[in-house]
Chains A and B, each alone.
Chain A
Amino acid sequence: MVDLCWFSFVMLNELDRQIQREPLNLRVNGEEHQILVPVHKTLLEVLREDLRLTGTKHGCELGECGTCTVLVDGQPQLSCLLLPIQLDDCEITTVEGMGSTAELHPLQQAFAELGAAQCGYCTPGMLLAARALLERNPLPSRDQIREALAGNLCRCTGYAKIVEAVELAAQRSLR
């Protein structure tokens, strides 16, 4: 059977479409960015490719793994499923806005100390989801930590050290 593989030009034909670019004001980690990007670029792509904030990682780009989690007005959201045009007047926080290598955020400190980051690839998303949790619930139970982070997959740690690190950071910040 000779086959021509269901010739289909869905993606090819899209190249004929005009690109709509919108001037936007994106507030990331307290810094204002005037950007002019195609409206169909997701926040993930704009952060990584236009603002060069490559701390935000990606694992599926379909909202299935939690890796690209950032905070939008303090809430964990998936940057692969957000359009900057929908984020007018929002404050976006990425891992770069949590702390620096000079001064780690208490969660980063706890993750580093306990080995909660092995390969570190899911870590930015985990940290941000954990930060949002601690801001609304400064002393969460283990189950509450698991619930809050349940949208973020990790393949290295078995989650144990992550739960412990969030607990440790919570306890320290209450001291």
Chain B
Amino acid sequence: MLRLPRLRYLRPASPREASTAAADLGGRAMLVAGGTDLYPKLKRRQFDPDTLVGLSHLGELRVVRGDACGGFEVGALITLSDAAAHEALRAAHPGYAEAAGLVSSPPLRNVGTIGGNLCVDTRCNYYDMTYEWRKSIGFCMKKDGDICLVAPSSPRCWAVSSSDTAPVAIALGATALLTGPDGQRELPVAALYRDDGIEYLAKEPFEVLTALRLPPSDGVRSAYVKLRRRGSIDFPIAGAGVALRLEDGIVRWARIVLSGVGSHPVEAKAADEFLAGKGLTEEVTAEAAEVAARPAKPLDNADLAHFWRKRMVRVVVEQAIEKAAARA
């Protein structure tokens, strides 16, 4: 069977201590919470740390604080199952809860955390392969090699952002709390990502994501629509997170963010602008979806044909807008 490499496992007493340990060890260490993303990748030798800095025992990160009026602080270790089932969260931000509930499969969601899903590694079907397979085809620039196998003339890596929860979090204007060796900082979830398949996170590798702050619900409607081949297990091959505010049938503001179509969660700002001030007719929704799909750049490195995925972005956006708007 596939096995993990030999590793040391540290159990620091606090997020700060974790971050300090990780910073001290540099590239030799990786932070791990649920491990549902990291362990398969370690078994495939996609990373080569010799030390894991464990977070899962830090109970302080396993709480949800706040409510719909004041906003929520969701501890990073809250499992995706718990986030999906959290009643207040579900009532206030249904789009976020449904995104959490659509990640992978039920047993995986019982271990995978909301922090882990925000930080989930970018994916590519030339990269998420076993050591032997990658050795056979020739290593790619994301690990051990120097070219991109999807776009061999490309100077950059095109691995795909595959977080289901990031799009809605960004659409809702959520922020992430990070703890480093020297203290805490808070940044918009949107600012957590970079458009690069390799350096896809804007945080330092040793910074611990401790919580996600979601704003007060305040009449905001949200939804997430995920496209994948099967009803379970699969990563998104296109997804749309939508948050919007309707007043008397008119969109006051809307934010649309896409998953699975670029190396970062892609913000469809042109569509946001297009929607503002308009009534949500069928035509308006369709046009907004059309506009939203423009920045999506699927390549041949995920499931199904990229031509089709590109086309489906429109469909999922439209569905997500309709779903969000229909929510009270």
Residue of B nearest to A58 (CB): B1
Interface residues of A (CB under 8 A from B): 5-6, 8, 10-11, 14, 17-20, 22, 38-42, 44-45, 58, 60-64, 66, 69, 72, 75-78, 80-83, 85-86, 88, 129, 147-153
* In contact, B110 and A75 (Cβ under 8 angstroms): yes
* In contact, B105 and A20 (Cβ under 8 angstroms): no
A44 surroundings in chain B (CB, below 8 A): 1
User: How many of chain B's residues touch chain A, expressed as a range?
Assistant: 35 or more
* In contact, A20 and B7 (Cβ under 8 angstroms): yes
CB of A38, distance to nearest CB on chain B (Å): 7
How many angstroms between the C-alpha atoms of A14 and B49 in the bound complex? 10
A64 surroundings in chain B (CB, below 8 A): 40, 233
- Sample of 15 further A-B pairs with CB below 8 A, known A8-B139, A14-B5: A8-B131, A8-B135, A10-B48, A11-B5, A14-B6, A18-B6, A38-B6, A42-B4, A58-B1, A63-B36, A72-B110, A75-B81, A86-B54, A149-B106, A152-B107
Name the one of A10, A58, A86 contacting B56, with C-beta atoms under 8 angstroms: A86
How many angstroms between the C-alpha atoms of A153 and B2 in the bound complex? 19
Interface residues of B (CB under 8 A from A): 1-9, 11, 35-36, 39-40, 43-45, 48, 50, 54, 56-57, 81, 104-108, 110-111, 131, 135, 138-139, 144, 231-233
A63 surroundings in chain B (CB, below 8 A): 36, 39-40, 104, 108
B107 surroundings in chain A (CB, below 8 A): 66, 69, 76-78, 129, 151-152
How many angstroms between the C-alpha atoms of A73 and B21 in the bound complex? 30
How many angstroms between the C-alpha atoms of A141 and B4 in the bound complex? 39
Name the one of B48, B50, B138, B232 contacting A151, with C-beta atoms under 8 angstroms: B232
Name the one of B3, B8, B139 contacting A45, with C-beta atoms under 8 angstroms: B3
CB of B95, distance to nearest CB on chain A (Å): 19
* In contact, B7 and A5 (Cβ under 8 angstroms): no
How many angstroms between the C-alpha atoms of A40 and B35 in the bound complex? 12
Residue of B nearest to A149 (CB): B106
Residue of A nearest to B231 (CB): A150
A75 surroundings in chain B (CB, below 8 A): 81, 110
A81-B36 contact, Cβ under 8 Å, with A39-B9, A61-B1, A61-B2: yes
A-B contact pairs, 26 of them (CB 8 A): A10-B45, A10-B131, A11-B5, A22-B9, A39-B8, A40-B6, A40-B7, A45-B1, A60-B2, A61-B3, A63-B36, A64-B233, A76-B107, A76-B110, A78-B36, A80-B1, A81-B111, A83-B35, A85-B9, A88-B57, A129-B107, A150-B106, A150-B231, A150-B232, A151-B104, A151-B107
Residue of A nearest to B35 (CB): A81
A69 surroundings in chain B (CB, below 8 A): 107
How many angstroms between the C-alpha atoms of A125 and B155 in the bound complex? 44
CB of B187, distance to nearest CB on chain A (Å): 28
CB of A36, distance to nearest CB on chain B (Å): 14
B3 surroundings in chain A (CB, below 8 A): 40-42, 45, 61
How many angstroms between the C-alpha atoms of A82 and B43 in the bound complex? 13
* In contact, A11 and B45 (Cβ under 8 angstroms): yes
B104 surroundings in chain A (CB, below 8 A): 63, 151
The 3 closest A-B pairs by CB, nearest first: A151-B105, A150-B232, A17-B6
How many angstroms between the C-alpha atoms of A152 and B110 in the bound complex? 14
* In contact, B2 and A83 (Cβ under 8 angstroms): no
CB of B180, distance to nearest CB on chain A (Å): 24
Residue of A nearest to B128 (CB): A62
How many angstroms between the C-alpha atoms of A76 and B109 in the bound complex? 9
How many angstroms between the C-alpha atoms of A58 and B131 in the bound complex? 20
Residue of B nearest to A17 (CB): B6
Name the one of A19, A40, A129 contacting B106, with C-beta atoms under 8 angstroms: A129
Residue of A nearest to B54 (CB): A86
B8 surroundings in chain A (CB, below 8 A): 18, 20, 39
CB of B125, distance to nearest CB on chain A (Å): 13
Residue of A nearest to B33 (CB): A86
Name the one of A5, A45, A151 contacting B233, with C-beta atoms under 8 angstroms: A151
B106 surroundings in chain A (CB, below 8 A): 76, 129, 147-151
Name the one of A78, A83, A149, A150 contacting B9, with C-beta atoms under 8 angstroms: A83
* In contact, B233 and A82 (Cβ under 8 angstroms): no
B4 surroundings in chain A (CB, below 8 A): 40-42
* In contact, B2 and A62 (Cβ under 8 angstroms): yes
How many angstroms between the C-alpha atoms of A45 and B43 in the bound complex? 13
CB of A125, distance to nearest CB on chain B (Å): 8
How many angstroms between the C-alpha atoms of A120 and B245 in the bound complex? 51
